[in-house]
Each structure stands twice: as structure tokens, then as C-alpha cells.
Amino acid sequence: MLTVGEVAREAGASGSAIRFYERQGLIAASRTSGNQRRFGPDAACRVRVARVAQRIGLSVGEIRDLLAALPPEPDLADWQRLHDRLTAEAERRIAELHAALDDIRSGRRLCDL
């Protein structure tokens, strides 16, 4: 089991970010008898996935749903499916942005004032 600091170091995030992700339900912790948080071995990976998903533009709710689809102990195939979903979503959003750029660059007036 990992501490907040250990998860933060492995994920390249701050301790406050780890606590935020826990409050949002993206990662889960258990408590020691001394009331300290302890995270499972895949917590840092989940945080890294969440950070990439945020950069793609997914909301916290969408990221929560994405991570909730993983089984309690994901194997390599589970992580690959998640990777494929994130890749497809990033490509879809990039295509939408390219279409918007095409509209802007088309020379057509976007509005008549």
C-alpha cells in the first residue's frame, strides 16, 4: 500500500492533486489505524491516466466513468482497452478542432453585424 507522497512521486503530481482525485472518486484509499491514507499499487497509473484525460478535455465525471469501467485489479488487456479509448477520444476531438479551424479559415463570414 502506498502513501499520498509515494503515489504523488510515482504519478508526477502533487499531494494535493492526489487528495483531489480521491475526493472526486478517481482513486480510492483505505485508512490505517492511525487514519493515514493508503492507496493500491495502481493508484499512480490511474492518476497518470486521469491527467492525460484532463489534457484531452474530458471532464472529471467522464474520467470517473472511464476509470470505473476498469476491474478492481486491471490486467494489461484492461489498460490497453483504456489506452485505445483515450486515443480514439483524443483523435475525435482533434478532428473536431480541425473542422472548426477549417470554418474559421474558410473566408466565410461567421456572422453578419
The per-residue DSSP string of 62-100 comes to: HHHHHHHTS-SS--HHHHHHHHHHHHHHHHHHHHHHHHH
What pLDDT is recorded for position 107?
A: 83
pLDDT at 112 > cutoff 80 = no
Q: Whole-prediction pTM value?
A: 0.84
pLDDT tier at 108 (50, 70, 90 boundaries)?
A: confident
**In terms of residue numbers, what domain contains 30?**
4-105
pLDDT at 110 > cutoff 90 = no
What pLDDT is recorded for position 113?
A: 66
Q: Domain with 9 in it: what CATH number? A: 1.10.1660.10
62 inside domain: yes
14 inside domain: yes
26 inside domain: yes
69 inside domain: yes
110 inside domain: no
Domain count, the chain: 1
Residue 46 belongs to what H/E stretch?
Answer: helix 43-56
Q: Taking all residues of the chain, what is their mean pLDDT, rounded to a whole number? A: 94
113 inside domain: no
Integer Cα distance of 112 and 32 in angstroms: 64
- Across residues 24-36, what is the average pLDDT? 93
Integer Cα distance of 42 and 10 in angstroms: 10
Three cell numbers written together for 51:
491527467
Q: What type of residue sits at position 46?
A: R
38 inside domain: yes
